[in-house]
Structure formats: structure tokens, C-alpha cells
Amino acid sequence: MTKYSYDETEAFKAGRDVWFEMRGPKAAQALLDQAAEHEMTRDLRQFLFEHCFAAVCARPGLERATRSIITISVLTALGRTEELKSHIRMGLNNGLTREELKEIFLHGGVYAGAPAAVSAVRAAMEEFEALDKANPQAKG
């Protein structure tokens, strides 16, 4: 049993559903429970479900893989490395290939500066390594 509970609004549930699909249900549930241990992380998670994942990822008009491309491009440009890693993983789940990710980083590096590409590649390599360790047969 977790310490704090979420406010199960319609928007929360819509955001959570999207996130569970994109993140994988097992890892998602673990992170959700962990966030519920503190008021600050619970409120952040509630906010992210309602105002990020429900607000845009659940909108029609763009395929989910395309939304991943936008998110990853923005995070590459802004140098938000920790968040980028988590969206690289979700992007792969949404159907992006490692080759496409590589192209996003190099392309982004032209418009946001070469160091943006360098640190995105570093983040991706760490994430790929973690994925390959967890699932050696799927190695990309």
C-alpha cells in the first residue's frame, strides 16, 4: 500500500492509460507506486498524466510515433537528458527504430548545435545498453 493516493479524474486515467502503453505496464506500475510515496512526486505524476500524457499524447491528429519524434526533438534541443532517456524508451515502444533515433539526433544537432547531438547519442547508448542487458535476444 502506498502512502499517498492519486485523484482518479478522467484526465488522470486517460493519461495513465497512454503512459502504461508507452512505458510497459510492469515498469509503469512500479514507477507509479514509487511516486506515491511522497506528496511532491505524487502531485507531479498526477500533473504529468493530466497535463502531458492526456493533454497531448491522447489527442488525435498525429500518430504516436510522430509524437515521440516531436518529444525527442524538443528534449534533444533543450538538453533534458534524463527525460530524453525515458522518451527514447517510449519512442522505441511506439515503433521508432534505433536508426531513426540516430537520424533525429544528427538532424537535431544541426539545428540545436552539435553538443545536443553528442549528449543525445550518449543518452541513447546508455538506454540501449540497459535494454540489451534486460533483453539480450532483442539487441538492436
User: Is residue 41 near its own copies by the rule CB under 8 A?
Assistant: yes
Where in 81-140 is the site for its own copies (CB under 8 A)?
82-83, 98-119, 121-122, 124-125, 128
3-state SS track over the chain: CCCCCCCCCHHHHHHHHHHHHHHCHHHHHHHHHHHCCCHHHHHHHHHHHHHHHHHHHCCCCCCHHHHHHHHHHHHHHHCCHHHHHHHHHHHHHCCCCHHHHHHHHHHHHHHHCHHHHHHHHHHHHHHHHHHHHHCHHHCC
> From the CB of 63, what's the least distance to its own copies, in Å?
10
Residue 74 touches its own copies, criterion: CB under 8 A: yes
Q: What mask, x for binding its own copies by CB under 8 A, covers residues 3 to 32?
A: --------x---------------------
Among 14, 28, 31, 48, the residue binding its own copies under the rule CB under 8 A is: 48
Residues that bind its own copies (CB under 8 A): 11, 38-41, 43-44, 47-48, 50-52, 55-56, 59, 61-62, 66-67, 69-71, 73-80, 82-83, 98-119, 121-122, 124-125, 128
